[in-house]
Amino acid sequence: MATKTIKTTAEIRTSIPDKKEILNDYRIAFESRQASLLGRREVLTGKGKFGIFGDGKEVPQLAMAKVFREGDWRSGYYRDQTFMLAANMMSLEEFFAQIYGDTDIAFNPGTAGRVMNNHFATRSLDDQGNWKNLATQKNSSADISPTAGQMPRLLGLALASKLFKQSKDSSVTKGFSAKGNEVAFGTIGDASTSEGHFFETINAAGVLQVPMAISVWDDGWGISVPNKYQTTKQNISEVLKGFEADENNAGYRIYRAKGWDYPTLVKIYRDGIELCRKEHVPVLFHITELTQPQGHSTSGSHERYKTKEQLAWEQEYDCIAQMRTWMELEGIASTGELDEIETNAIARVKKARKTAWENYLNPIKAKRDEFLKMADVTTCNCAKTQKIEAIKEDLRMIAEPIRKDIISSARKILRLICDSCSNPQNSLKINVTAWLEQEMLDNADRYNSYLYSNSEHRVDNLQSVAPVFDEKSVMVPGREILRDNFDALMAKYPQLVVFGEDVGKIGGVNQTWEGLQEKYGETRIFDTGIREATIIGQGIGMAMRGFRPIAEIQYFDYLLYGLQVISDDLATLQYRTKGGQKAPMIISTRGHRLEGIWHSGSPLSMVINSVRGVKVLVPRNMTQAAGFYNTMMASDEPAIIIEPLNAYRLREKRPSNIGEFLIEPGIPEILRPGTDVTLVTYGSCVRIAEDAADQLKGFGISCELIDVQSLIPFDVNHDIVKSLRKTNKIVFFDEDVPGGATAFMMQKVLEEQNGYLYLDAPPRTVTGKAHRAAYSTDGDYFSNPNAEDVFDAVYNIMHDYQPERYPKIF
């Protein structure tokens, strides 16, 4: 039996719950442990592919669940199953459904089988994709696997409370908040605190003073790497001491406790969360001496790297064993009472496992039986029937089939069905084909749906509304169109908040938000520190709670700092919850051609292939950019909008319907009709292409110039191939690296749109150099494609096509 080493002091004793509550907690912890033990068995016997569990971390999570209220949010990681059970945010059946990868949201509402087990999420949206009332339910933002990836979004979840508290507008708070009294709870492992995201978030929350409560579950290990290689002084709360509030400075409150010390844990969570909720002081709970009874995950065994002494210590200090000893020593419960709780818990968990397994397996078995019955070839004597029967028999013999077994058998059988296997009453070939088609659709819904919003507010439900020009329309610098458009959007959408580096006081580095902080106040438009990852995370968390953030990234090249957050969190959000959560934020940035490697603003391919799930819009001028902002604000989807840097000063005609005109993404615009060569580009390159097209005209070459306007989505109506059918020659042009976004466009047009059918000459790409742009105008000229390069590329295609008419120049 475990020995208890700390006595319950008089101070702690005052916050001990009553006996019923303690025993209920013990039941939950014990059930959770049994679930971990059985869960591992399910994986080792092949019912689940991978398993990671919360064993050894149960007791502090009971304390956290006690103070977690309706309207609160969690942003945590894979050890939190006891919390989810204790807070009634997940059932034991759902815990097992995750291990099996059940795709039915009725049984597996968090992830619909798309994500490994113990990745938790509640559903914020109804089945139409509309918000549920988030102020009256307990909320968990959807977990991701990258360590510390939960931190940037946590900041936004907490900041939302602060802004709700300050908001007087019920259209902003209704259904999302009760006066901003919600706490955002974060959890993280000790080793994951080594990540930059952790420190960036800690610092930002300290600056912002938001109701964020982080628990570090410290078991001393990150898989096989112990604390001494992870954390200075091997102690994260010691390291964070400088963040603590003192009499002169706001900061953090830090609480410490051993993870097996139930009464102290209950007390510190009560005290800490009360302070955090009331005063909006960020708090950190450093919970030490936690264990991993079964090691890190099902992928390895900790006996390989832990000493015998360490393993023995872990057994002794197992938090559940310690809690039991404490209850016995304190006379809270008798051995008999505790034994009974444990016996019942074991039975309860076994039952939940069985129910979840049947929920998962029975529909698959029924599908298998349905197929076997349909694929009846007994009336045919053709040479193939034996082979068909053999495949069917193999399928029939699988005790626990998966969908792959059925569909793969069906596809193989379809190849073997002869015409006489079918009879006039029962055309087997037709039936199996129809059945397979339906199955492929159903499985696409299970595994390939909801990368983007499916709600009525999705972008492709919106239609363009043209900018209106009248006799009063004057030419103004492009940045004024954006500024006036943002003004109109701020007035129209009270949920719209904008933040980033230099966006508040000075109105952005290009003055596109000029004067708007004075007009709308610092709670709606504000400066942030230089911290791109948490600027994005801040946007995600706020958007999850009903705000409509525009997060500013000062230059496109610096998006890289936030790209992990966009790619892993924002872009996968709808998908990984099968439409259960959304974060309709806009990432506003600017790029294309300033100076040098880190201000050239062109590495589009680095973005487009990592953010599928987010729209990527590349307007050529500020009227188009404003139209995209208007469209995205009218939708419920996230987007990156890249303003063309060199267009702020250039004059454009100011539309009279500022804030109202919409531009549908995915619709290329033919800027100049032409007959000889199709020239495809976007953003700032459009102006260079126009210059090149003028030069080519002088040589009798007619370019059809197309601005694709958005890379994701890309040419949804296949307009570019229509141009190619006419010209039979095509050049893709941008300033990304060779094989970058031009290759992406080429694949779309030649493969997806079957453009190869219409080519009379090899397709060409004109791109920047692989080294990215050198400094100065000359550096730019020799690094980036210019009008002469485009001229030469197009001219040489014409030369290859008609050498006499277009003699070689260069």
Residues that bind ligand TPP (CB under 6 A): 79, 145-147, 189-192, 217, 219, 221-223, 296
Please identify, using beta-carbon distances, which residue of 190 and 552 lies nearer to ligand TPP: 190
Least separation in angstroms between CB 568 and ligand TPP: 9
**Percent helix, strand, coil in the chain (nearest 5)?**
45, 10, 40
In this structure, what token pair is assigned to residue 571? 């872009």
Query: Which of ligand TPP, Mg ion, none interacts with 514 (beta carbon under 5 to 8 A by kind)?
Result: none
| Residue owning tokens 């941008």 | 734
Choose from Mg ion, ligand TPP, none: what does 648 bind? Cβ within 5-8 Å by kind: none
Residue with Cβ nearer ligand TPP (148 or 332) = 148
Specify whether the CB–CB gap between 792 and 808 falls below 8 A: no
343 binds, among ligand TPP, Mg ion, none (CB under 5 to 8 A by kind): none
State the number of CA atoms in the 13 A half-sphere of 305 facing the CB.
Answer: 14
User: Is the CB of 227 or the CB of 453 nearer to Mg ion?
Assistant: 227
The contacts of residue 513 (CB under 8 Å, 6+ apart) are 483, 486, 498, 503, 504, 507, 525
Count of CB atoms situated within 10 Å of the CB of 472: 7
Nearer to ligand TPP (CB atom), residue 219 or residue 342 = 219
In the complex, minimum distance from the CB of residue 536 to Mg ion, in angstroms, rounded to a whole number: 26
**Who contacts 523 (Cβ-Cβ below 8 Å, separation ≥6)?**
163, 166, 167, 497
Q: Choosing among ligand TPP, Mg ion, none, which partner's interface includes residue 146 (Cβ < 5 to 8 Å by kind)?
A: ligand TPP
Return contacts of 361-368, CB within 8 angstroms, 24+ apart. Answer: 361/100, 361/400, 363/104, 364/401, 364/402, 364/403, 364/406, 365/401, 367/403, 367/406, 367/439, 368/395, 368/396, 368/398, 368/401, 368/405, 368/406
Point out the residue whose Cβ comes nearest to ligand TPP.
Answer: 189
User: What is the smallest separation between the CB atom of 188 and ligand TPP, expressed in angstroms?
Assistant: 6
Q: Looking at beta carbons only, is 288 or 678 nearer to ligand TPP? A: 288
Closest CA to 730 of 701, 754, 765: 765
Residue 659: contacted member of Mg ion, ligand TPP, none (CB under 5 to 8 Å, by partner type): none
CB 261 within 8 A of CB 287: no
The CA distance from 604 to 430, in Å, is 46
CA 385 from centroid of its chain's CA atoms: 48
Residue 79 binds which one of ligand TPP, Mg ion, none, with CB within 5 to 8 A depending on kind?
Answer: ligand TPP
Matching residue, tokens 């790029």: 591
Which of ligand TPP, Mg ion, none has residue 596 at its interface (CB below 5 to 8 Å by kind)?
Answer: none
State residue 809 phi and psi, 5-degree precision: -105, -55
Residue 732 contact partner, candidates ligand TPP, Mg ion, none, CB within 5 to 8 A by sort of partner: none
Phi, psi of 702 (to 5 degrees): -105, 115
Angle between helices 403-416 and 428-447 (to 10 degrees): 150
Residue 189 or 478 with smaller CB distance to ligand TPP: 189
| Partners of residue 702 on adjacent β-strands | none
Residues of 309-321 as b/e, b for ≥16 C-beta within 10 angstroms? eeeeebeebbbbb
CB of residue 321 to ligand TPP, shortest distance in Å = 19
User: Residue 191 or 489: which CB sits closer to ligand TPP?
Assistant: 191
Pairing relationship of beta strands 212-217 and 221-222 according to DSSP bridges? unpaired
> Taking the CA atoms of the chain, what radius of gyration do you get in angstroms?
30
Q: How far is the CB of 320 from ligand TPP (least distance, A)?
A: 17
Buried b (16+ CB within 10 A) or exposed e, 332-349: bbeeeebeebbeebbebb
Min dist CB 191 to Mg ion, Å, is 5
- Give me the phi and psi of 472, to 5 degrees please: -85, -10
Interaction partner, residue 147 (ligand TPP, Mg ion, none; CB < 5-8 Å by kind): ligand TPP
Joined tokens for residue 501: 């580096």
Q: Which is nearer to ligand TPP, 297 or 409 (CB)?
A: 297
Closest CA to 605 of 781, 741, 775, 420: 741
Report in angstroms how near the CB of residue 189 gets to ligand TPP at its nearest: 2
- Which residues contact Mg ion by CB under 5 A? 189-191, 219, 221
Closest approach, Cβ 120 to ligand TPP, in A, equals 14
Using alpha carbons, select from 553, 565, 679 the residue that is nearest to residue 613: 565
Q: How far is the CB of 688 from Mg ion (least distance, A)?
A: 53
Residue closer to Mg ion (CB basis): 43 or 236? 236
| Residue 288 contact among ligand TPP, Mg ion, none, beta carbon within 5 to 8 Å by kind | none
CB of 610 to ligand TPP, least distance (A): 15
Q: Which does 729 bind (CB under 5 to 8 A by kind): Mg ion, ligand TPP, none?
A: none
Closer to ligand TPP at the Cβ: 192 or 631? Answer: 192
Contact (CB, 8 A) for 32 and 350: no
Contact 428, 422 (CB under 8 A): yes
Shorter beta-carbon distance to Mg ion: residue 219 or 676: 219
Shortest Å, Cβ 117 to ligand TPP: 13
Quick one: 196 or 779, whose CB is closer to ligand TPP? Answer: 196
Q: Which does 167 bind (CB under 5 to 8 A by kind): ligand TPP, Mg ion, none?
A: none
Nearest approach, Cβ of residue 569 and ligand TPP (Å): 12
Distance of CA 18 to the CA centre of its chain: 41
> Which is closer to Mg ion, CB of 139 or CB of 237?
237
Chain residue whose CB lies nearest Mg ion? 189
- Cβ 56 to ligand TPP, closest distance in Å? 9
Minimum distance from CB of 111 to ligand TPP (Å)? 16
The single residue listed with the structure tokens 């919600």 is: 182
Binding site partner of 39, from ligand TPP, Mg ion, none, Cβ cut-off 5-8 A by kind:
none
Q: Binding partner of residue 198 among ligand TPP, Mg ion, none, CB under 5 to 8 Å per kind?
A: none
CB-nearer residue toward ligand TPP: 197 or 277: 197
CA dihedral (793, 798, 803, 804) in degrees, to 10, reads -130
